[in-house]
Chains A and B, each alone.
Chain A
Amino acid sequence: MDEIAIKLENVTKSFTFKSENLESRLFNIFSQSQKTKIMALDNITLDIKKGEVIAIIGRNGSGKTTLLRTIAGIYTPDSGNIVIDGTIAPLLHIGTGFHEELNSKENILMSGLLMGIKKDKILQKTDDIIEYAELEKFTGMKLKHYSTGMRARLAFSLALQMNPDIFLVDEILAVGDRKFQEKSFNSFVSFKEKNKTILLVTHNLGPQLEIADRVVLMDKGKIILVGDIDQVLKKYYEEYQD
């Protein structure tokens, strides 16, 4: 029987926003502003097996990122259960906790330490990380001078070298150039071969999606359909494409 890496049971997460405009703030400083409740995750149940690659697709605001953040433990769900077996590397953000004023080596150390990796291990791998990210020429440069693509490469390379069991990737690869995208795609393939679990949020519905074993279609915080690529894409193009 296949082992489960991530188990989600009836996970619900809502956000409450205050609707604010200047006029109402000026005249009602102490009264409660109007609140809008949004169901970002509405009763999500999903089992993800070890070694499985899952792609999550859906329109903007459908809850994809919230789902990854909840799995990563950044958000606490309102209700429901999440069981995770293995270490997680979240790549949810371009420059996962990177700092603008530090250079790439300092950022690797800082980010790695925050992810809970031992200092020696990070130092040992720093050169590999920089090499994979193709940033050898820019190691002394502060991160604020890096382009978006360079940051994304650094973040991806760092997460890759940390060798986690579960990879949560939020659209981050879309910013790298084509060559790097191909390279990272190949890394995903080799990850998959090592029985690692990958959860991928993507808007790229091209050939890259073929790495996925299953595709999850989300809308308004709900899972609409889980299935193979053709099946889910068909549904998506028919009903959910803008």
Chain B
Amino acid sequence: MSFLPLVNLWKVRSILVFFAIINIKLRFKGMKLGIVWTALEPTLTFVFLYIVFTSITKGPQENYGIYLLTGIILYNIFARGTSGGLSSIRSNVNIIESININKEFFPVTAVLATSILMVVQIGVFFGLMPFFQFIPVWTIIFLPVVLLLLIILILGISYILCILHVYFRDIQVIWSILIQALFFITPIIWYIDDIKDTGLGNILLAIHSINPIGQLTELTHNIVVFNTIPTLVEWTYVSIFCIGIFLFGFLIFNKYQSKIMEEL
């Protein structure tokens, strides 16, 4: 057994992909539209918020549509990804009860499924751009880096959540509330420049500086909407954040994974 994340799963990587696909199938079981919801959900959220915010603010900023869409897509991947990771252990109880299996398999499968669905959502992102006559510039080549960091972050948080969920079922409700709060403390509907130097805005900025998903969203806005390349310091800061949470999450997971069986 290695004390590093993912190393133990390398041998079973082909099974991981197979299970991720099953995981996706099961997520949409019995639904008429199935996987189409992956595309439809962020699109509808976007349309709704776009109509509301362009009608209440006078003269929205240039490219507000793309700005909003970027945030919603990232947020949606994060929200769906972490809640999939959260239930990954408990929803596989009957497998864990009958076979001696490396339990890291389950959160990793869930996040792999999230990564596959992410491709659909990024497709939506590019698919909607023509509606705003928006043509991305070359800085968008950094998008895969942001998405990789996002997945690392989701996996790190999933490691912690799935363990917590075993001991403390309430976390499911708590997490869905936190996810809702996250929507408002992340620069999705608002601009960072707008809140600077206002009383409450400073508090929000302080929160934003330690909110990894907020930092990732800001980076993405820079490379997609504002055509700027984040500085090396900014990249390093966000990377340390995401990778730090990932390693910490695995540490927690590894400490408890052999004990969870008795709690299930």
Contacts and interface: CB of A to CB of B under 8 A. Distances in A.
B100 A119 contact: no
Contacts of A16: 262
Contacts of A109: 18
Interface in A104-142: 106, 109-110, 113-115, 119
Contacts, number: 55
B99 interface: yes
B97 interface: yes
Interface stretch (B22-30, B72-80, B201-209, B220-228): B22-30
B261 A90 contact: no
Given A97-B99, A101-B29, A110-B22, A75 B94 contact: no
A78 to B, nearest CB: 11
Contacts of A101: 25-26, 29
Best-surrounded residue of A73, A75, A114 (most CB of chain B within 10 A): A114
B36 interface: no
A96 B14 contact: no
Interface in B1-36: 14-15, 18-19, 22, 25-26, 29
Contacts of A106: 22
B29 A114 contact: no
A69 B258 CA distance: 13
A114 B258 CA distance: 18
B19 A110 contact: yes
A194 to B, nearest CB: 23
B14 A93 contact: no
B94 A93 contact: yes
B98 A75 contact: no
Nearest to B29: A101
A109 B19 CA distance: 10
B137 interface: no
| Residues of A in contact with B, size category | 20 to 34
A92 B19 CA distance: 22
A29 B20 CA distance: 38
Interface residues of B, number: 21
B14 A74 contact: no
Contact of A97 (B26, B98, B258): B98
Interface in A71-112: 72-76, 88, 90, 92-93, 95-99, 101-102, 106, 109-110
B262 A90 contact: no
B44 interface: no
B101 interface: yes
A99 B100 contact: no
B40 interface: no
B95 interface: yes
Given A15-B262, A75-B262, A76-B258, A97 B18 contact: no
B170 to A, nearest CB: 10
A159 B37 CA distance: 38
Given A98-B94, A113-B15, A113-B18, A72 B26 contact: no
Contacts of B26: 99, 101
A119 B98 contact: no
B261 A75 contact: yes
Best-surrounded residue of B25, B95, B96, B100 (most CB of chain A within 10 A): B100
A171 to B, nearest CB: 13
Interface string B172-185: 00000000000000
A110 B22 CA distance: 9
A113 to B, nearest CB: 5
Nearest to A114: B99
Given A74-B97, A74-B99, A113-B15, 7 more contacts: A72-B100, A74-B98, A93-B94, A93-B98, A96-B98, A97-B95, A114-B95
User: Ordered nearest first, which 9 A-B pairs have the shortest CB separation?
Assistant: A73-B100, A97-B95, A93-B98, A96-B98, A113-B15, A92-B98, A101-B29, A97-B98, A76-B258
17 contacts: A16-B262, A74-B96, A74-B99, A75-B261, A92-B97, A92-B98, A93-B98, A95-B94, A96-B99, A97-B92, A97-B94, A97-B99, A98-B94, A106-B22, A109-B18, A114-B15, A114-B101
Interface of B: 14-15, 18-19, 22, 25-26, 29, 92, 94-101, 258-259, 261-262
